[in-house]
Amino acid sequence: MTYQSLNPFDGALIKSFEVLGDPQLETKIAGAQSCFETWRHKSYAERATIIAKAGEILHSRAGEFARIMTLEMGKRISEARGEVEFSARILAYYAKNAERFLAPVKLNPVNGEAHMESSPIGVIFCVEPWNFPYYQLARVAGPHLMAGNTLVVKHAGIVPQCAIAFEKLLIEAGAPVGLYTNLLISHEQCDQAIDDPRIKGVALTGSVAAGRSVAARAGQNLKISSMELGGSDAFIVLEDADLEHTIPWAVWGRMYNTGQTCCAAKRFIVVESLADKFLEKFQAALSALKAGDPMDEKTTLGPLSSESALVQLLKQVDDAVAKGAKLVMGGKRVDRPGSYMQPTILTDIKPGNPAFRDEFFGPVVSFYRVKDEDAAIALANDSDFGLGGSVWTEDVARGKRVASRVETGMMFINNIDWSDAELPFGGIKNSGYGRELGDMGIQEFVNKKLVRTLKAEAPK
């Protein structure tokens, strides 16, 4: 396991970092456990002072944090600033609402009185990915720290400076030592952390393979876990869709973060009567994107996060074509320095083609024609994933009916707007389990304790 900042814009090595030794890992877990024994007794108001302050710092220095992200994983600077601002809103949201979310809930048993109360469980181990280097951290830090837990976090190897910056952010906001701890550790040390009895829960956002490995390890240790994994979201276009509204969303839904988003639109399922027109307009819009420096506000196509990500995606496209898919556009790297890929459209993808099942984590469109609404829903559900999806129609009531029939964790009607701290995020099937954000997100790692008072004679 290596931790390196490699700029995907030009391949330049910015900085390397050493993996922690086992004695250092022990010290950090011990510090998190020690901090928990104090933090768990803090009032919500005391916790909120620190978490809200961290959000304020993020907001006030959004450009500074965004620049680190763009240098490390190539996110276009405007999108990077947007991510920082959203992360700030998440921290503010939980600072404001945690006490309400975790307030005792009165129950009504036949006899006596009862309530449910929530309490923190301890140190939570989080494994987070590179594609949203601050947002992924904010959506575990906001709820779980406000709930009274402490966090130790293994971030992705290609964004070490983002990981370090987030830990420094919380320290600057007044966090005590051990509240939030960044761990530059190996995969083997991840197993050690999960096995450690002081770790009480495990949260992962990442690939299906990583989810299987980490969830299995947590299960062996009888530890609660949440898994936010991959996706292959359907973008269902019905015959009455307004293409002037739909096409810009199609471009954004597939190309935001250069397509490196779990809940991006990936499978475009269009009713036959509109398919040719949609494909023509979609192809024209994608062709207009221009590769450039992600630090330049005018750039419309950024690089992939790394050279290895690009090589993997190119191989997937080549394999798809070799197995019978038709390449409508793209399919190659952009002829320039850096890890850039042409926007790509594949059609004629049959069920036996690996592209029918696999997730394309980058600017690759899978395009399908279907005869009607029922066929669109059937194809949308014929997936190993179930994270998000969308439906496009002038008839909102129809859109709601379709949304209810698609087997996924999230559905959007005439939009793909995920960015609201109040909306729970998560999926089913190979997309994982558990929810982050919203009031559900803070409930994942708390003990829900029943307390009952019964005025009755003792049993005889």
For residue 437, the domain's CATH number is 3.40.605.10
Please confirm, yes or no, whether 228 is among the known catalytic residues.
yes
Q: State the pLDDT confidence band at 459, using cuts at 50, 70 and 90.
A: confident
The C-alpha atoms of residue 417 and residue 213 are separated, in whole angstroms, by 31
| Residue of 160, 162, 213, 163 whose CA lies nearest to 191 | 213
Helix (H) or strand (E) holding 9: none
Helix (H) or strand (E) holding 437: none
Q: Tens of pLDDT along 392-429?
A: 999 999 999 999 999 999 999 999 988 899 999 999 99
Q: What is the CATH number of the domain that holds 285?
A: 3.40.309.10
Q: Which residues pair with 236 in a beta bridge?
A: 269, 391
Query: How confident is the model at residue 419, as a pLDDT?
Result: 82
Q: How many domains does the chain have?
A: 2
Task: Tell whether 155 and 247 lie within a shared domain.
Answer: no
Task: Tell whether 278 and 196 lie within a shared domain.
Answer: no
Task: Tell whether 329 and 380 lie within a shared domain.
Answer: yes
* Neighbour tally for 438: CB within 10 Å: 19
Asked if the model's pLDDT at residue 10 lies above 80, the reply is yes
User: 37: domain range?
Assistant: 3-229+431-451
List, as one string, the DSSP characters of 144-177: HHHTT-EEEEE--TT-HHHHHHHHHHHHHTTPPT
Dihedral, CA of residue 76, residue 79, residue 84 and residue 88, to nearest 10: 180
The C-alpha atoms of residue 317 and residue 424 are separated, in whole angstroms, by 33
Q: State the pLDDT confidence band at 329, using cuts at 50, 70 and 90.
A: very high
Query: How confident is the model at residue 72, as a pLDDT?
Result: 98
Task: Tell whether 221 and 257 lie within a shared domain.
Answer: no
Q: Tens of pLDDT along 108-144?
A: 999 999 999 999 999 999 999 999 999 999 999 999 9
The C-alpha atoms of residue 287 and residue 144 are separated, in whole angstroms, by 43
Task: Tell whether 213 and 283 lie within a shared domain.
Answer: no
Task: Tell whether 13 and 158 lie within a shared domain.
Answer: yes
Using a pLDDT cut of 70, give the percent of the chain over it.
100
Please confirm, yes or no, whether 126 is among the known catalytic residues.
no
Q: Tens of pLDDT along 427-449?
A: 999 999 999 999 999 999 999 99
The stretch 243-265 carries a mean pLDDT of 98
The encoded tokens of residue 411 equal 């559905």
Rg (C-alpha) for the chain, rounded Å, is 23
Structural domain includes residue 424: no
Structural domain includes residue 426: no
Query: CA triplet 352, 354, 356: central angle to 5 degrees?
Result: 75
Task: Tell whether 181 and 317 lie within a shared domain.
Answer: no
Asked if the model's pLDDT at residue 460 lies above 90, the reply is no
Secondary structure class of 124 (helix, strand, coil): strand
Structural domain includes residue 246: yes
Q: State the pLDDT confidence band at 455, using cuts at 50, 70 and 90.
A: confident
Kindly state the DSSP code that residue 457 receives in the 8-state scheme: P
Whether the Cβ atoms of residue 175 and residue 49 lie closer than 8 Å to each other: no
Catalytic residue (one of 72, 83, 128, 228): 228
Catalytic residue (one of 35, 126, 162, 262): 262
The stretch 80-89 carries a mean pLDDT of 98
Q: How far is CA 116 from CA 41, 104, 109, 387, 440, in A?
A: 18, 5, 12, 30, 16
Asked if the model's pLDDT at residue 456 lies above 70, the reply is no
Query: How confident is the model at residue 182, as a pLDDT?
Result: 98
Q: Tens of pLDDT along 137-185?
A: 999 999 999 999 999 999 999 999 999 999 999 999 999 999 999 999 9
Task: Tell whether 284 and 214 lie within a shared domain.
Answer: no
Task: Tell whether 117 and 151 lie within a shared domain.
Answer: yes
Q: Which amino acid is at 115?
A: H
The C-alpha atoms of residue 291 and residue 375 are separated, in whole angstroms, by 36
**What's the gap between Cα 349 and its chain centre?**
27
Q: What is the pTM of this model?
A: 0.97
Secondary structure class of 436 (helix, strand, coil): strand
Kindly state the DSSP code that residue 364 receives in the 8-state scheme: E
Task: Tell whether 380 and 441 lie within a shared domain.
Answer: no
Task: Tell whether 71 and 50 lie within a shared domain.
Answer: yes
